[in-house]
Amino acid sequence: MQFALSSEQIQFAETLDSLLAKSDVARAWAAGDHAPGLAVWRKLAELGVMTLGVDAEPIDVVVAMEAIGYHALPGPAIETIAVLPELLDGALLGTAAIPPHVPYAVDADVADRVFVVRDEVVFAAETATTVGSVDPCRRLFEVTAVQEIGPLQGGFERGALACAAQLLGAGRALLTRSVEYVKQRTQFGRPIGSYQAVKHQLADVHVGLELARPLIYGAALGEVDVSAAKVAAGDAAYRAARAALQVHGAIGYTVENDLSLWLTKVRALHSAWGNGSVHRARVMTALGA
């Protein structure tokens, strides 16, 4: 099977990239100023991104989530686009907790609709305690179910796939920034990117990301297990984060450097929607079956 995007999907990805490249809203969102980020989300809604989970194919959701990951757009993207679109009824943003692997609702203070999903049954929810996250752009909330709404099948699977696509985009962004930086940073009179050790390290990152891509596409088409895609994308993005931090040196550790926006997001998403142990166990169960 050929995992290649159609011309329409490529054009859609380019449109999203052009729109999101002009937005720099992550730091404002982390500081509690959600207005710039919500303005971007409204533009995405005008493009039909919010209804992809209902009106389009899963691969289109993957395309959108990869672009969102690449540009570190804050907000409950996975929940709004992939998991809950049928329940939002015209609302801009939605979020949900899906215990046990998604115990908290992301950005419940900003979302228009908040839910809890238990055993594929949806309940309207209200927020309670705030929980800290390594990613300052992801505010987590404990939520309490207040009213049953109805069934929601496959929500966790769709969320895990969207999370994998977002990780792929974030990993690509880290690789791009690393490649640009090693061309500029010099050591012993030469750009550090000219050294074989650095080249090999970034090449390994590139290979990992590109090997994760067909697993994500395959999962969107129903040909590959979603858990395999989540494991591959999580490991590839985490490798990209480690390499980016190493090649940037001390400046990569600073919050003021924009690299931190992707480093913290990858760290958070790596364990979100089921960590590596959860999904590896699911893959083993599927292989045994």
C-beta of residue 50 within 8 angstroms of C-beta of residue 76: no
As a whole number of angstroms, the distance between CA 22 and CA 78 comes to 21
Tokens 């590839």, located at residue = 236
Q: What is the pLDDT along the chain (289 residues), one digit of tens a residue?
A: 566 788 999 999 999 999 999 888 999 999 999 999 999 999 999 999 999 999 999 999 999 999 999 999 999 999 999 999 999 998 999 999 999 999 999 999 999 999 999 999 999 999 888 998 999 999 999 999 999 999 999 999 999 999 999 999 999 999 999 999 999 988 888 999 999 999 999 999 999 999 999 999 999 999 889 999 999 999 999 999 999 999 998 888 888 899 999 999 999 999 999 999 999 999 999 888 6
- Please, what's the largest Cα pairwise distance for the chain? 66
pLDDT at 2: 61
Q: Letter for the amino acid at 157?
A: E
pLDDT at 1: 55
Locate the DSSP E strands across 73-185: 94-97, 105-106, 113-118, 121-131, 140-151
C-beta of residue 267 within 8 angstroms of C-beta of residue 134: yes
Helix or strand (DSSP H, E) at 197: helix 196-220
Burial track 159-187 (b if 16+ CB lie within 10 A, e otherwise): bbbbbbbbbbbbbbbbbebbbebbeeeee
- The full set of domains in the chain, from first to last, is 155-288 (1.20.140.10)
Residues 6+ apart with CB under 8 A from 73: 20, 23, 25, 26, 37, 40
| pTM, to two decimals | 0.96
